Structure 1
Amino acid sequence: MSIWWSLHLRRDAASVPLARRLLLGTMETAGVDPDVSYDLSVALTEACANAVEHGGGRSSGAFRVTAYLDGEKCRIEVTDSGPGFAHAPSRTARVAADDAEHGRGLCLIRELADHVHFANRPGRGGAVVSFDKILKWRDNAPLMTAS
C-alpha cells in the first residue's frame, strides 16, 4: 500500500503549517516512526518557507507540495514558480553565521533527508526541491510492507 498527495498552496506563510500538519497526520496514520516523521516535517517546513520567500513569479502566487509514502521511503517535492536557483546549491555550501536570519534551510534539508535534489524547472522557471528518506515503522504499522 502507498499514499500520494499533492497540494497547490498560496505563497503565504500560513500555508507552511498546513503542509506540515498534513504530512505529520499522514505519517502518524500510516504508522511511521515519530522521529522520522519529525525530521521530514522540519525538512518540508524549510522547503515550503523557501518557496514562500523566494518562489514569487509573475504568473503565480502559489507553490506545490507533493508527497509519496511507499513501503520503504517517503519522497517530498516542493515546486515554485519563482526565478529558480541562480546556481545549484552545492553540497559544501557554507552554513549561515549564527546570528544570520536566513541561509540555513537548504543545509538543514540536506542534514535531515537521505537524498536531496535542487533543480530549476525546465522551460517554465521556478525551483524544485525534492528529498527522500528511508522510513522506519512502528510495530503493527498499517503501511509496513511484509518482508
Structure 2
Amino acid sequence: MRKVHLQIPADAGYIDVVRICLTGIAAKQGFAYEEIEDMKVAVSEACSNAVLHGSGESNAEPVDVTFEPLDTGLTVRVVNYGMSFDHTSARQEASPIQGGSTSDLRVGGLGIYLMEALMDVVRMSSDQGKTEVVLTKYRHA
C-alpha cells in the first residue's frame, strides 16, 4: 500500500475526515478494531492541537496529514505551519489525570500523554513555522 496524503483546512470540523481516512487505511492494513480506535483518539488529538495551536487566528494555513503504511504497522504524520512550540517542555508537563477532585485538574498536557499511551512511537519536532507530530502504531494482533 502507498502513502496517502490529506490536506485539511485548519478547522476542527474537518478532523472527522482524517478519522474516516485513518479507519479505512488501518482496516486495510489488518489492524484490530481496538487498535484502530486507539489510533483515532491519538490522531484526533494531534489534529486538534494542529488546528488549535498551529494555524493562528486566521486559520489560513492548512494541516497536512500523511498516512505511511509499513510492513508492520502504520505511521501518521500531522504537520501544521503556524507558530512553533517547545514540545520538550510540553512533554515534561504531560501527565495522567491526577488530583482528588476536578478542581485539582489543570488544563493542557493531557493530549501528549494520550498520544504516548495509545501509540507505540510518538515524535514531535517544531521549528520556525512548522510543527510535526509523527505517530506510529504496530500491529499487535
TM over 0.5: yes
**1:25 CA drift (Å):** 1.7
**1:59 CA drift (Å):** 9.2
TM-score (norm 2): 0.82
Are the structure 2 counterparts of residues 89 and 116 from structure 1 closer, same or farther at C-alpha, using a change threshold of 3 Å? farther
Secondary structure of residue in 1 paired with 2:3: strand
Secondary structure of residue in 1 paired with 2:133: strand
Counterpart residue number, 1:130: 134
Following the alignment from structure 1 to structure 2, what is the Cα–Cα distance between the partners of residues 48 and 59? 13
Matched, 1:14 2:13: yes
Secondary structure of residue in 1 paired with 2:12: coil
**1:115 CA drift (Å):** 1.0
- Structure 1 runs not aligned, ≥5 long: 138-147
Contact kept, 8 Å, 1:81 with 1:127, in 2: the verdict is yes
Counterpart residue number, 2:82: 82
- Structure 2 runs not aligned, ≥5 long: none
Secondary structure of residue in 1 paired with 2:123: strand
Counterpart residue number, 1:118: 124
Matched, 1:66 2:70: no
User: How many residues are treated as equivalent by the alignment?
Assistant: 134
Greater helix fraction, Structure 1 or Structure 2: 2
Are the structure 2 counterparts of residues 107 and 117 from structure 1 closer, same or farther at C-alpha, using a change threshold of 3 Å? same
Counterpart residue number, 1:104: 110
What percentage of aligned pairs have identical amino acids?
26
Following the alignment from structure 1 to structure 2, what is the Cα–Cα distance between the partners of residues 53 and 94? 17
Are the structure 2 counterparts of residues 54 and 90 from structure 1 closer, same or farther at C-alpha, using a change threshold of 3 Å? closer
Following the alignment from structure 1 to structure 2, what is the Cα–Cα distance between the partners of residues 62 and 132? 22
Following the alignment from structure 2 to structure 1, what is the Cα–Cα distance between the partners of residues 33 and 113? 22
> Over aligned residue pairs, what C-alpha RMSD do you find?
2.3
Following the alignment from structure 1 to structure 2, what is the Cα–Cα distance between the partners of residues 55 and 90? 15
Following the alignment from structure 2 to structure 1, what is the Cα–Cα distance between the partners of residues 37 and 65? 17
**1:90 CA drift (Å):** 5.9
**1:36 CA drift (Å):** 1.2
Deviating runs (4+, > 6 A) in structure 1? none
